[in-house]
Structure 1
Amino acid sequence: MKKLMIVTSYFPPEIGAASNRIYHLAEGLKNDYEVTVVTPLPNYPTGKIFADYKKKFSLKTEENGITINRLWIYASVSKNKFLRLIAMLSYSFSLIWFFLWHKIPDKVIVQSPPLLVAFTCMFFLRSKGRKLILNVSDLWPSAGLELGALKEGFFYKILKKLEAFNYKKADLILGQSNEILTHVKSVTTKPELFLYRNFPEIETPNLVENKSPKGKIKMVYAGLLGVAQGIHKLCKELDYNVIEFHIYGSGAEEKAIKNLIDSNKDLHLFFHGRVNRDELHKVLLTYDLTIIPLLNRIYGSVPSKIFEYAKLGLPMLYFGGGEGETVIEQNKLGWVAKESDYDDVNSVLRTIRPKDLNLDLKTAIQNTARLQFDFNKQLGALKKTL
C-alpha cells in the first residue's frame, strides 16, 4: 500500500477545528494509504502538555489504523511573542530531527499555519520526487494583522516571505475557502489548487422539536474562547430580554466570562465549561439557535462550525463577515448580522421568533448538509487529485 505522511501542529486529543479537520482527513485516507501523522505532544489550547503525555520526549502509537508520532514541544499559549516563537521553533527542531532519522514517504500533507512549522517542512522535504501538499486553513500573516496580533514591520515582512516560499514549493494546495485560493493565485500560479472545506464526518441525528421557556430563544456558543471569537465582548453586548445564552468551551477568555457571570447574576448567561465532542453534539440538539462570531472579519476564514452545525440541523446566526456569510445565505442555514455591529446582532435576534426555529427549519438545514456538505464525496475528489 502507498504511504502518506501528515504533518500538523494540532491533533486529537486536542480540541478545535484544525485538530478535527486533520483527524478526519487521516481517517478518510487510511483505506488508500498507510497514513503516518507527525504532531506535537498534545498541549492545545491550555499551553501545557496533557497529563497523560507529561515527562515524555516523544511517543509513537497506533490508533485506529493510523501511526501517530508525537514529538517534543516547548508548549505555550503566552501572549508574549518571544515565547510563542520559542514554542514554534521547538517543534520545528523536533521535526528536523524526525526527518533526519526517518524515511519520509513520497506524499506529504503539511498543515499551515503555523507558518514557521510549514516552512520547516517545505524547506527540508522539498525534492523532485516528492509531492508536497499544503493544507492552508488560514491566511497568515494577513489574518494576524486583521486580528491585531501582528503589526506591519520587519517581522511581518519575514512572515510574508515564508508564506510565499511555502506556496511556491507546494505541488498542491488545499484551501478551505475560495478566498484562500484566490489569495494563493495572487502569490504564485505554480501549485494545483483544490477547495477542501472542513466538512465533518459525523452521523446526522434524529431531530425533535424544542420548546423554549417564556418565549426566549435558547442560544448557544460552543468552541474556543479566544481573542478571535470575542465571546466576552459578545456576552456584554447581547440583549437578554429575548434570549438566554449558553457557552461551552475553554480558552483565553474563560476566566473573564466566568467573572462577568459572577458579577451579573441577573443575566440569563450560563457557562458550562468544556465537554467532549460526542457529548457536545447531543447537548447542542437541545438548543434553538447557535451563534458563530468573529471579533473582526478575517479574510479567507470560513468557520468549520457552519458545516458541523448544519449536519446537526442547528439554525445559525452568523456574525463574522466574509465568505461565511455567503455560505449561510446561499444554503439558507439561518441569519446573518453585520460584522462587528452588536446593535445589528440584537436587531436580528429580535426578529427571530421561537416558532421560527421549528422542526421544519432544522430538517431543511440537515437535508441541505447531506447534499452540499458531503465529506465522502469531497474526499473522493481529493483522492483523485492526490
Structure 2
Amino acid sequence: MKEILIISNYYPPENGAAANRIELLALKLKQNNYKVFILCPLGNYPKGKLFPEYKGKFSVTENRDGITVKRLWIYPSVSNNLLVRLISVLSFSLGLFFYLWIKKTPNKIVVQSPPLLISFISVFVLSLKKKKLILNVSDLWPLAVIELKAIKENSISHKFSLFMERLIYKKATLIIGQSNEIITHIHSSFPEKKCYLYRNFPENRSVKLELEHLEKEPIKIFYAGLLGIAQGITELCQKINLQGLNIELHLFGDGAEKRQLEDLIYRQKVQNVFFHGMVNREELHSKLKTFDIAIVPLKVRLYGSVPSKIFEYSSLGFPILYFGGGEGEIIVEENNLGWVAEVGDYAKLNSKLKAISECGKLDLKKMKNSVWENSNYAFDLDKQIRLLLEEDVF
C-alpha cells in the first residue's frame, strides 16, 4: 500500500472550508488504496482556543476514519493583531520543523499553502530529504494579504513573504492549485513547473438536500462560514438594504468579526438580518432545509481565490448570490448557478437583491433543481481525483 503524508494547518474536528477540503482529499486517497497520515496542530479553529479534548496536551496521535492524525502543540489565536497571529503560526512551525527533521515520513508529501511560513518550513526541510513534494496552493500569499491591506507592500514582512513564496514554488516537485489564476501566477515565475488544477469540490452527491419550499415565508438568504477580514460580513450587513424587500439574511459562523457583527445586529438592530452563531455541519444542513439562496461574498477581489462555498452550496441545490469577483464570477455564470454582483459594488448588490425579492417561490424551486443538476455534473470530485491519479500527481 502506498503511503502519503498531508501537512495542513487545519483538520477536523475543526470547522471551515480548509479543514473540510483536506479531509476530503485524505479520504479520497484512502479510498484509492493509500495509507494516509495527517500532520496538523492541536484542534483550535475557528475560535482560537484549544478544544477541550486537547487542552493540557503537547501532542496527540489519533485515528479518524482509518487515517492517522498527528497533532502538534500550538499557541492558538484568531487575534487581528499581526504579531499575535505570527506568534501563533511560529509556535506550530517550530514543532513542525523538529518533527519533520527527526521523524521518519513517507516519500510522498502534500503540503498545504497558505499559511506561507508553515509551507515554507515543510518544503525547506523535506526538499533536503529528497521527498516528492506536492504543494497544494489554495490562495496566493503574500498577494492576498497585500490586497486585504493586512501588510504593507514592499515592507520587510512583504519581501520576506515573497522570498518564501518563490522558494516553495521552486522546491516543490509539482503543484496543485484551486484556480487557473493560481496556476498562471506560478507559471509567470516558473514556466516549466508542473501544475494541475484541483478545485475544492465537495463529496459528489447522488441525492440533493431535501429542501422545503415554504410559500408564505420570506426568501431566506444565508451565509455560513468564517467571519474574517476577507469575507467582510460586518460591512455587508451595514451596506445592504433589505428595507421593503421580501428577504431575510441569516448568518452562521465564527471568527474575528463575531463580536463586531453581534454588536451591529443586536444593538443597532439591522433590519431582517439574523445571527445564529456557529453550528456543526449536520445541524447546519438540517437548518438550511427551509432556506433558499447562499450568498458568497469577499471584501475585495482576491486574485487566485475561488471560495469553495460556490461548489459546496450549489451541490446541495442552493442558487448562489456571488459577490467576490475574479474566477468565481466565471464559474457561477458559466454553470448558471445564480446571480453575480461586482465585488464591492453595493448598489449593484442591492439591485440584485431587489430582483431576487420579486422572484416567486415557484421560480426559486425550479432554479434550485437546475442548480443542483448543473453543479453535480460540473463539480465531480471523484472524477477530478481519478484524473490526477492517472497523471501520477499523488
Q: Which residue number corresponds to residue 164 of structure 1?
A: 166
- Superimposed CA distance per residue, residues 72-99 of structure 1 (whole angstroms, 9 cap, x where no aligned partner): 1121222222222222222111112212
Q: Which amino acid in the other structure matches residue 233 of structure 2? A: I
CA distance in 1, matches of 2:267, 2:80: 26
Q: What value does the CA root-mean-square deviation take over the aligned residues?
A: 1.6
Secondary structure of 1:149's aligned partner: coil
Contact 2:7 2:40 in 1 (8 A): yes
Cα gap change, 1:209 to 1:100, in 2 (>3 Å): closer
Which digits, 9 at most, give the CA deviation of each residue in 1:20-54, with x for residues without a partner? 10000000001321100000001112111111100
Note closer, same or farther for the CA distance 1:218–1:107 as it changes in structure 2 (3 Å cut).
same
Contact 1:178 1:195 in 2 (8 A): yes
> 1:265 deviation in Å?
3.8
User: What is the CA distance between 1:334 and its match in structure 2?
Assistant: 0.2
Per-residue deviation, residues 221-254 of structure 1 (Å, max 9, x unmatched):
1111111111111111122221211111111111
TM-score normalised by structure 2 residue count: 0.94
Identity across aligned pairs (percent)?
49
- TM-score (normalised: structure 1): 0.96
1:87 aligns to 2:88 (yes or no): yes
Alpha-carbon distance, 1:191 to partner: 2.6
Deviates most, 79-88 or 6-15: 79-88
Aligned residues: 385
3-state SS in 1 of match to 2:330 = helix
Does 1:354 find its partner at 2:359?
yes
Q: CA separation in 2, counterparts of 1:113 and 1:379?
A: 21
**CA contact under 8 A between 1:209 and 1:359: conserved in structure 2?**
no
Partner of 2:47: 46
After superposition, residues 368-379 of structure 1 pair within 5 angstroms as: 368-379=374-385
**TM-superposed deviation, 1:15:** 1.2
Q: Paired residue for 2:227?
A: 225
Moved more, 260-269 or 81-90: 260-269
SS of 1:354's partner is coil
CA deviation string 1:249-306 (max 9, x = no partner) = 1111111221122224471111111111122123223111121110111000100000
Structure-2 residue corresponding to 1:13? 13
How far has the Cα of 1:128 moved from its partner?
7.3
Answering whether residue 333 of structure 2 is matched by residue 329 of structure 1, we say yes
* Structural mapping, 1:253-292, within 5 Å: 253-265=257-269, 267-292=271-296
Look up the SS of the partner of 2:127 in the other structure. Answer: coil
Q: Secondary structure at the match of 1:70?
A: strand
**In the aligned structure 1, how far is the partner of 2:241 from the partner of 2:260?**
19
Moved over 4 A (4+): none
Conservation of the 8 A alpha-carbon contact between 2:78 and 2:255: no
1:97-112 equivalence runs, <5 A: 97-112=98-113
1:22-33 correspondence runs (5 A):
22-31=22-31, 32-33=33-34
What SS does the aligned partner of 1:358 have? helix
For residues 341-364 of structure 1, the C-alpha deviation after alignment (integer angstroms, 9 at most, x for no partner) is: 111111111112332642221111
Q: Secondary structure at the match of 1:44?
A: coil
Check whether the contact 1:281–1:312 (CA below 8 A) recurs between aligned residues.
Answer: no
Match of 1:194 among 173, 193, 196: 196
Query: Quick one: distance in 1 between partners of 2:105 and 2:241?
Result: 55
Q: 2:183 matched to which residue of 1?
A: 181
2:237 maps to what in 1?
A: 235
Q: Give the conservation status (yes or no) of the 8 Å contact 2:101–2:125.
A: no
Q: Would the aligned equivalents of 2:208 and 2:372 in 1 still touch at CA under 8 Å? A: no
1: distance between equivalents of 2:215 and 2:321?
A: 17
Q: Which amino acid aligns with 2:254?
A: S
